[in-house]
């Protein structure tokens, strides 16, 4: 199967090249070449699917003759994580990227096969060109089918920190997001080249942009959730360059989704739209580049990668090429109409666009500041989270405010009286919420957080009002219950109400970010059994130690039971633990010390509630077992020296002895538990971050789903086309 995959990859590269060349030839008007390029893209999708299957089979079968499988899986890695282990590697992630690109391209070309006869060949050439680049990169620089001969008996296994469902979801969602933006980008390039600059290319690719937005957003959220739930540092966002690199295309992509609606409805912002989609895709490529180049100091960057330079070349081609193309088409892009009034939906959309792009620009500046500073002063320098927060907070607040205002206004122009009427109720709700927060909470101590809550209340009140008005109008029209009217209204206008739901989700998400970051309480304390500490109004008491062994995962957990009380009343019991993994990786020290200082991670003890999360991580101080560990390792080394090396039976016996020594440590840990370092956090409203993101994703999916009218139009359109073809045949 590995050979089959390797051959498929070898064939994929010329197939992609052929698709590019045929599409380019097809731009001269010969439809046969356009058809041929489209079919070549389908074939490419099939070949890359074969590559993915070949790698997956090797991972599932633990075929360590495939280097990738030996590096990222082992016989003790659970099946699910063998299935998803592929894309924790650079080669596997590039394969995933190319595969998703080929599938998305196939789908886009299938959907547009009878439309955009001039644009499609160019779009195909761009997309197939991208596929050629990535398949070539794999073939010549990062081949996922590299072999090991002889195959090792065991693999390294997947890093235990990655064995979490969130981490299994994060990469494919992120890549789908990046790749999804390639479709509108390619069609924008096609539209620019052919000077077909009306909104038709936007309509045809809107769903792909929305899917990309939803996927990229979910990818970011799954990554954040993993960081929060698994890593022992107690946060969900660190403003790391690679995290920022995924956020930037999402921000600019969000701006594009909104400004494309303005072009569709009002015929304006045409230049802005092509600039935004080109920037979005360039930033998506930049994210791929930053992980692989080592250009910036990032905790997420692959080390010693050689694919950075070609990726930088691709980004340069995309940026320079699209800029030249846009500049050369400025006359055609100039809109006939203008924004009539600042009190209009399109004006507010534009303001929100500027805020989103401004935020992306701040993130870009901060991310690339080491390079900027090196160019300016000769010395690389980095910016920490407080600098990012200083700009992101006010821009975020304004974003939430205008997210609330935009949907309330009509297109074109709104009179002052009408404006007052539309904004009165949401403004009143926001005011009441602000006063209530000032009166009953300490929100006044954090003005930026208070402003976020007030603006979010305004936005949510506006959205609820829109739903209420729409449902009432529909009920008066068709009758029935209020719920049925609400459901019917959403079903009949999914794009609009899906958008409102997404806005509500984002407003909730901003509230959660403001609350959890401004009002969190935390402490790092050393506690012995029976000792306690007070954090955020809660008392955390380390009551007793726990030990457990997961034989399937070969994992030891040295943990604790932490009782949480508030004003003497029991609240919950938490079970944080330190997890120690037995791995087949070469030990970096003596055997037993290697185990306790080797592959280790935290099991977070957490209680999630609608008001707050109680979060604990622990690290037991094992220094009192030091003499035993050192003594055991010394004796084991002496014993091993007397036994024949490279004898698997001897290895197995030594491993059993190590296991017995670990049993001794377990017993001593239970009998006389050492003190442990506890990291304790109380995060208010953090669960609303995930709920808000989920609501936004649901809103996005509702907006993606075709409305009944659109489906009917498409079906009737297809039927008409078929009738036309049949009548031509009969004639």
Question: Restricting to residues 622-681, which ones interact with other proteins according to CB under 8 A?
Answer: 623, 648, 651-652, 654-656, 658-659, 661-662, 677, 679
Regarding 42 and contact with other proteins (CB under 8 A), the answer is no
**DSSP calls for 197-247:** -STHHHHHHHHHHHHHHHHHHHHHHHHHHHHHHTSTT--S----HHHHHHH
Q: Is 476 helix (H, G, I), strand (E, B) or coil?
A: helix
| Least spacing, CB of residue 231 vs other proteins, in Å | 6
Measured CA to CA, the distance from residue 279 to residue 389 in angstroms comes to 23
Positive/negative CA dihedral, 691, 165, 9, 146? positive
- Single out the residue of 142, 6, 151 nearest to residue 67, CA to CA: 151
Question: Restricting to residues 561-600, which ones interact with other proteins according to CB under 8 A?
Answer: 581-589, 591-592, 595, 597-598, 600
169 preceded by a cis bond (ω within 30 of 0): no
Give me the 256-285 binding string for other proteins, x by CB under 8 A, dash otherwise.
------------------------------
* Helix intervals (H) in 85-155: 90-111, 119-140
Question: Restricting to residues 291-320, which ones interact with other proteins according to CB under 8 A?
Answer: 297-303
Structure tokens at 671: 């009998």
| Least spacing, CB of residue 384 vs other proteins, in Å | 7
The single residue among 319, 410, 547, 549 that binds other proteins, judged by CB under 8 A, is 549
Regarding 555 and contact with other proteins (CB under 8 A), the answer is yes
| Least spacing, CB of residue 519 vs other proteins, in Å | 18
Rg of the Cα atoms in the chain: 29
Give me the 389-418 binding string for other proteins, x by CB under 8 A, dash otherwise.
-xx---------------------------
Residue 249 or residue 370: which is nearer to other proteins going by CB? Answer: 370
| Least spacing, CB of residue 540 vs other proteins, in Å | 16
Give me the 1-40 binding string for other proteins, x by CB under 8 A, dash otherwise.
----------------------------------------
Pairing of β 532-535 and β 577-581: unpaired
Residue 83 or residue 325: which is nearer to other proteins going by CB? Answer: 83
The single residue among 387, 411, 628, 705 that binds other proteins, judged by CB under 8 A, is 387
| Least spacing, CB of residue 623 vs other proteins, in Å | 7
Stretch that binds other proteins, among 244-252, 383-391, 418-426, 453-461 (CB under 8 A): 383-391
Regarding 60 and contact with other proteins (CB under 8 A), the answer is no
**What is residue 66's DSSP assignment?**
B
Check: CB of residue 605 under 8 Å from CB of residue 576.
Answer: yes
Three-state secondary structure of 581-601:
ECCCCCCCCCHHHHHHCCCEE
The single residue among 25, 365, 467, 705 that binds other proteins, judged by CB under 8 A, is 365
Measured CA to CA, the distance from residue 721 to residue 482 in angstroms comes to 40
| Least spacing, CB of residue 646 vs other proteins, in Å | 10
Residue 57 or residue 600: which is nearer to other proteins going by CB? Answer: 600
Check: CB of residue 297 under 8 Å from CB of residue 241.
Answer: yes
The single residue among 46, 165, 358, 488 that binds other proteins, judged by CB under 8 A, is 358
Rounded to the nearest angstrom, the gap between the alpha carbon of residue 160 and the centroid of all alpha carbons in its chain is 20
| Least spacing, CB of residue 232 vs other proteins, in Å | 5
Residue 360 or residue 502: which is nearer to other proteins going by CB? Answer: 360
Residue 491 or residue 652: which is nearer to other proteins going by CB? Answer: 652
Rounded to the nearest angstrom, the gap between the alpha carbon of residue 621 and the centroid of all alpha carbons in its chain is 36
Regarding 383 and contact with other proteins (CB under 8 A), the answer is yes
What are the Cα distances from residue 620, in Å, to 198, 543, 672? 64, 14, 12
Structure tokens at 93: 């992630």
Structure tokens at 284: 């998506």
Stretch that binds other proteins, among 96-104, 250-258, 378-386, 442-450 (CB under 8 A): 378-386
| Least spacing, CB of residue 397 vs other proteins, in Å | 16
- Single out the residue of 674, 677, 679 nearest to residue 617, CA to CA: 679
Give me the 210-249 binding string for other proteins, x by CB under 8 A, dash otherwise.
---------------------xxxx---x-x-x-------
Structure tokens at 622: 């094992």
Residue 381 or residue 473: which is nearer to other proteins going by CB? Answer: 381
Residue 49 or residue 599: which is nearer to other proteins going by CB? Answer: 599
Unique residue bearing structure tokens 């690339």? 368
Measured CA to CA, the distance from residue 540 to residue 530 in angstroms comes to 10
Residue 13 or residue 369: which is nearer to other proteins going by CB? Answer: 369
Question: Restricting to residues 599-618, which ones interact with other proteins according to CB under 8 A?
Answer: 600-602
Question: Restricting to residues 140-179, which ones interact with other proteins according to CB under 8 A?
Answer: 152-157, 159, 161-162, 167
Residue 185 or residue 625: which is nearer to other proteins going by CB? Answer: 625
Pairing of β 538-550 and β 532-535: antiparallel
Question: Restricting to residues 74-133, which ones interact with other proteins according to CB under 8 A?
Answer: 74, 88
Q: Tally the residues of the chain.
A: 731
Core vs surface per residue 263-283: b (16+ CB within 10 A) or e: beebebbbbbbbbbbbbbbbb
Size, binding site for other proteins by CB under 8 A: 87
User: Cβ atoms within 10 A of the Cβ of 423, count?
Assistant: 18
The single residue among 202, 556, 695, 704 that binds other proteins, judged by CB under 8 A, is 556
Check: CB of residue 572 under 8 Å from CB of residue 607.
Answer: yes
Residue 373 or residue 532: which is nearer to other proteins going by CB? Answer: 373
């Amino acid at each position: 199967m590995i050979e089959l995959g390797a051959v498929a990859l070898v064939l994929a590269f010329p197939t992609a090249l052929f698709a590019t060349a045929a599409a380019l030839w097809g731009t001269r008007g010969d439809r046969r070449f356009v058809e041929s390029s489209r079919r070549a893209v389908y074939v490419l999708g099939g070949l890359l699917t074969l590559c993915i299957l070949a790698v997956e089979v090797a991972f599932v079968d633990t075929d360590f003759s495939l280097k990738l499988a030996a590096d990222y899986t082992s016989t003790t890695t659970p099946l699910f994580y063998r299935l998803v282990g592929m894309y924790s590697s650079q080669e596997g992630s590039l394969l995933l990227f190319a595969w998703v690109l080929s599938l998305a391209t196939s789908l886009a070309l299938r959907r547009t096969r009878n439309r955009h006869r001039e644009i499609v060949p160019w779009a195909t050439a761009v997309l197939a060109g991208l596929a050629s680049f990535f398949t070539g990169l794999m073939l010549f620089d990062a081949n996922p089918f590299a072999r090991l001969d002889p195959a090792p008996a065991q693999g390294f296994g997947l890093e235990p920190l990655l064995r979490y469902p969130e981490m299994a979801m994060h990469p494919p969602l992120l890549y789908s997001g990046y790749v999804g933006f390639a479709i509108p980008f390619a069609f924008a390039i096609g539209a620019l080249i052919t000077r077909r600059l009306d909104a038709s290319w936007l309509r045809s690719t809107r769903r792909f942009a929305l899917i990309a937005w939803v996927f990229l957003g979910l990818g970011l959220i799954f990554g954040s959730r993993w960081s929060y739930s698994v890593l022992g540092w107690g946060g969900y966002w660190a403003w790391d360059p690679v995290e920022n690199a995924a956020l930037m295309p999402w921000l600019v992509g969000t701006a594009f989704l909104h400004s494309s609606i303005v072009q569709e409805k009002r015929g304006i912002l045409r230049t802005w739209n092509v600039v935004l989609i080109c920037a979005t895709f360039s930033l998506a490529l930049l994210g791929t580049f930053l992980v692989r180049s080592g250009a910036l100091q990032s905790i997420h960057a692959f080390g010693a990668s050689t694919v950075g330079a070609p990726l930088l070349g691709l980004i340069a081609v995309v940026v320079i090429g699209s800029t030249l193309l846009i500049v050369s088409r400025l006359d055609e892009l100039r809109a006939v109409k203008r924004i009539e009034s600042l009190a209009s939906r399109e004006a507010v959309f534009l303001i929100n666009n500027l805020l989103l792009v401004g935020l992306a620009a701040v993130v870009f500046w901060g991310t690339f500041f080491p390079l900027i500073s090196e160019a300016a002063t000769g010395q690389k320098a980095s910016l920490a989270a407080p600098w990012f927060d200083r700009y992101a907070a006010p821009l975020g607040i304004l974003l939430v405010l205008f997210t609330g205002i935009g949907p309330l206004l009509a297109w074109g122009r709104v009179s002052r009286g009408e404006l007052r009427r539309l904004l009165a109720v949401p403004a009143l709700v926001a005011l009441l919420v602000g006063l209530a927060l000032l009166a009953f909470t300490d929100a006044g101590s954090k003005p930026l957080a208070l402003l976020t809550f007030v603006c979010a209340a305004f936005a949510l009140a506006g959205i609820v009002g829109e739903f209420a008005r729409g449902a009432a109008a529909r009920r008066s029209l068709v009758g029935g219950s209020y719920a049925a009217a609400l459901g019917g209204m959403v079903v009949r206008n999914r794009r609009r109400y899906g958008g409102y739901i997404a806005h509500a989700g984002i407003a909730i998400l901003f509230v959660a970010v403001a609350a959890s970051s401004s009002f969190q309480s935390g402490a790092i304390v050393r506690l012995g059994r029976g000792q306690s500490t007070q954090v955020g109004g809660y008392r955390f008491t380390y009551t007793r130690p726990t030990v457990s062994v997961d034989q399937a995962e070969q994992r030891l957990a040295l943990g604790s039971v932490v009782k949480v009380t508030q004003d003497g009343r029991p609240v919950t019991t938490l079970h944080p633990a330190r997890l120690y993994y037995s791995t087949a990786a070469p030990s970096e020290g003596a055997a037993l010390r290697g185990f306790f200082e080797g592959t280790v991670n935290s099991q977070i003890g957490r209680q999630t509630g609608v008001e707050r999360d109680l979060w604990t991580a622990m690290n037991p101080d094992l220094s009192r077992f030091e003499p035993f560990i050192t003594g055991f390792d010394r004796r084991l080394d002496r014993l091993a020296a007397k036994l024949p090396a490279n004898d698997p039976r001897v290895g197995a016996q030594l491993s059993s002895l190590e296991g017995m020594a670990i049993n001794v440590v377990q017993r001593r840990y239970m009998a006389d538990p050492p003190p442990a370092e506890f990291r304790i956090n109380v995060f208010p409203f953090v669960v609303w971050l995930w709920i808000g993101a989920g609501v936004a994703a649901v809103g996005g999916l509702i907006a993606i789903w075709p409305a009944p009218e659109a489906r009917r139009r498409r079906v009737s359109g297809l039927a008409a086309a078929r009738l036309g073809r049949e009548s031509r045949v009969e004639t």
